[in-house]
Amino acid sequence: MSDAAVWHDVECGSYAADLPLWRELAKRAGGPVLELGAGTGRVALDLAAHGHGVTAVERDRELLDELARRAQARGLEVERVADDARNLTLSTRFALVVAPMQFLQIVGGPAGRSAVIGAAAASLAVGDHFAAALVEVDESVAPDDAAPPVPDVGEHDGWVYSSLPLDVRPEPGGVAVERLRQRVSPAGRLEEERHTQLLDSLTVDQLEYEAAERGLRAVERREVPATADHVGSMVVVCRR
Ligand SMILES: C[S@@+](CC[C@H](N)C(=O)[O-])C[C@H]1O[C@@H](n2cnc3c(N)ncnc32)[C@H](O)[C@@H]1O
C-alpha cells in the first residue's frame, strides 16, 4: 500500500458516523451512485457492499488503486474514474451524487466548488439528488479549555503511523489544519513531518446558494453528530 493510502486511512479511515446517512440516501435514490473524491473507498465500498452500483471519482491514482484492490478483495464492483472532479464529464447519469467529508471545502474555493457542483448537476437527471457534507470551520476551532487531541494511529508492514492534530488556524478564505505525521520503522527509526490541509470556509446557506446557481435546489439539511474523535458536519441535499 502506498504511503498516501496509509496516511489517508489513518486520518479518515475510521470515520463511520456519516455512513448510515449515505446508505439511506442511496437506498432512497434507488439507482447508481457517484462519489466525488472517494479516497480509498470508505464510502464507495460501503455502499457497494449494501448492493448499490457505485462509481468512484478520485484524482489521486494511488488512492484509487488501493480502492480497486480492496473492492477486488471483498468481491465488490466499483467503477473507478481517475480524474479531477472539477473537470468531470461523464456520459452516464446517476440517481445520486455524493461528496462526503468536506470534499467541497478542498477543491479550490468558490470557483472550484462551482465547477464541481456543475459537474454533479450534469451527472444527474431532473429530480435526482446531490448531497454534500460540510463542516462550518469557524465552529470547529477547539475552545482554549478543550482536552488535548489524541493522535490517529495505524500500522502497516511493521511501521507504526501516528497523525496528531496540532493546530487549526484561520487563513484567508478558511482555516489551515496542521498535523504532526510521525512513523516508526520496524527497526525503531522515527520519521516525522508536518502536514497542512487547507479547508475553505463554507456555510450551509452559502452552499445552498451556490447549488441553486448551478440548477440544484436544496431540499434537506441533515446533521451528522460529532463523535469523540470527529467534529460534527452538515449534509446538504439538493434536487436537480
Ligand atoms: C477527505 S478525503 C475523503 C475520502 C472519502 N470520500 C471518504 O469520505 O472517506 C477527500 C478526497 O478527495 C480527493 N480529492 C481532492 N480534490 C479532488 C479533486 N479536485 N478531484 C477528485 N478528487 C479530489 C483527495 O485525494 C481525497 O482522497
Q: What lines the ligand 1 site, CB under 6 Å?
A: 12, 37-39, 42-43, 57-60, 63, 84-86, 100-101, 103, 106-107
Question: What is the domain-level CATH number for residue 152?
Answer: 2.20.25.110
The per-residue pLDDT for 17 is: 97
User: Are residues 127 and 144 both part of a single domain?
Assistant: no
Nearest CA to ligand 1 atom 6: 38
The per-residue pLDDT for 138 is: 66
Q: Are the C-beta atoms of residues 95 and 30 closer than 8 Å to each other? A: yes
Between the CA of residue 209 and those of 206, 212, 230, 238, what are the distances in Å? 5, 5, 27, 11
Point out the residues of the chain with pLDDT beneath 70.
Answer: 138-148
Beta strands 217-224 and 174-184: pairing type?
Answer: unpaired
Q: Are the C-beta atoms of residues 163 and 180 closer than 8 Å to each other? A: yes
Q: Are the C-beta atoms of residues 195 and 210 closer than 8 Å to each other? A: no
Nearest CA to ligand 1 atom 10: 37
The per-residue pLDDT for 229 is: 83
User: Are residues 40 and 115 both part of a single domain?
Assistant: yes
Instruction: At 83, list the grid cell.
Output: 480524474
User: Are residues 205 and 194 both part of a single domain?
Assistant: no
Task: From the CA of 103, give the closest atom in ligand 1.
Answer: 10
User: Are residues 63 and 117 both part of a single domain?
Assistant: yes
Nearest CA to ligand 1 atom 24: 37
Contacts of 97 (CB under 8 A, 6+ apart): 33, 34, 35, 36, 120, 123, 124, 129, 130, 131
Nearest Cα residue to 81 out of 44, 26, 128: 44
E strand segments, the chain: 33-36, 54-58, 78-82, 94-99, 124-134, 152-156, 159-171, 174-184, 190-200, 217-224, 233-239
User: Are residues 131 and 15 both part of a single domain?
Assistant: yes
User: Are residues 173 and 57 both part of a single domain?
Assistant: no
| pTM of structure | 0.94
**What is the Cα–Cα distance from 46 to 67, expressed in whole angstroms?**
11
User: Are residues 145 and 46 both part of a single domain?
Assistant: no
User: Are residues 116 and 216 both part of a single domain?
Assistant: yes
Domains in the chain: how many in total? 2
The per-residue pLDDT for 102 is: 95
User: Are residues 9 and 102 both part of a single domain?
Assistant: yes
Question: What is the domain-level CATH number for residue 8?
Answer: 3.40.50.150
The per-residue pLDDT for 149 is: 77
User: Are residues 179 and 217 both part of a single domain?
Assistant: no
Q: In the beta sheet, which residues pair with residue 165?
A: 179
User: Are residues 88 and 173 both part of a single domain?
Assistant: no
Nearest CA to ligand 1 atom 23: 37
The per-residue pLDDT for range 163-186, each reduced to its tens digit, is 999 989 999 999 999 999 999 999
Q: In the beta sheet, which residues pair with residue 57?
A: 36, 81
User: Are residues 159 and 193 both part of a single domain?
Assistant: yes
Q: Which domain covers residue 186, as residue numbers?
A: 138-199
**What is the Cα–Cα distance from 29 to 176, expressed in whole angstroms?**
35
Q: Are the C-beta atoms of residues 134 and 234 closer than 8 Å to each other? A: yes
Alpha helix segments (H runs only) across 127-190: 137-140
Between the CA of residue 104 and those of 14, 112, 123, 189, 197, what are the distances in Å? 20, 8, 16, 37, 13
State in Å: Cα 240 to ligand 1 middle: 23
